[in-house]
């Protein structure tokens, strides 16, 4: 990744990296800060990019490390932000949706690693199984199996 190409890289991948970090952090402010740190680290270590993976995969791996560094520094958990009801939703529907969303997030929060992160990368980060496998230094098949197991574990917890 050449430094003269850094602006293009930033514009191309910012939203994808930010979305991924948002799924990890659950907090817009932290996600913005971690995303900025991700690009700072990537650009200062651009010579370390060997091209063995896609740029976005490399950036997401850096983002994951930044998030883990930040999590180690923080001793508190951030609550999930409140979502506003969409136009046309009734108050009852919005409350039911929030309750359902909260239950899903709660079940996801209690899901053990690597199932939780693989599920978040696939669903919220919209990464391919190949990209997820690369982030974990595993195979695409490992990512598929882990995602499938995560879904089964979430479904089981939602039934309980």
Asked: is 91-160 a CATH 1.10.10.10 domain? The reply is yes
Look at the pTM and tell me if it is higher than 0.75. Answer: no
Report in angstroms the alpha-carbon separations of 15 from 12, 20, 72.
Answer: 8, 8, 24
Say what the pLDDT of residue 142 is.
92
CATH T-level fold of 1-77: Rna Polymerase Sigma Factor; Chain: A (1.10.1740)
More confidently predicted of 57 and 48? 57
State pLDDT tens for residues 91-134: 455 555 666 667 777 777 778 888 888 888 888 777 888 888 88
Domain ranges in the chain with CATH number 1.10.1740.10: 1-77
Q: How far, CA to CA in Å, does 7 sit from each of 2, 12, 15, 55, 140?
A: 10, 8, 14, 13, 30
* Residues of each domain in the chain carrying CATH 1.10.10.10: 91-160
pLDDT above 80 for 81: no
């Amino acid at each position: 990744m050449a430094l003269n190409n850094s602006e293009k890289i930033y514009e191309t991948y910012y939203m994808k990296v930010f979305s991924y970090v948002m799924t990890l952090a659950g907090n817009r402010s932290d996600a913005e800060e971690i995303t900025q740190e991700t690009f700072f680290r990537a650009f200062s270590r651009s010579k370390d990019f060997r091209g063995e993976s896609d740029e976005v995969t490399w950036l997401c791996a850096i983002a994951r490390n930044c998030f883990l560094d930040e999590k180690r520094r923080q001793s508190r958990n951030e609550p999930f932000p409140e979502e506003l009801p969409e136009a046309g939703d009734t108050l009852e529907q919005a409350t039911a949706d929030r309750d359902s969303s909260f239950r899903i997030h709660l079940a996801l929060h209690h899901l053990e690693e690597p199932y939780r992160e693989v599920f978040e990368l696939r669903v919220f980060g919209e990464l391919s199984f190949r990209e997820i496998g690369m982030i974990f230094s595993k195979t695409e098949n490992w990512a598929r199996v882990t995602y499938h197991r995560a879904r089964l574990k979430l479904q089981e917890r939602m039934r309980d």
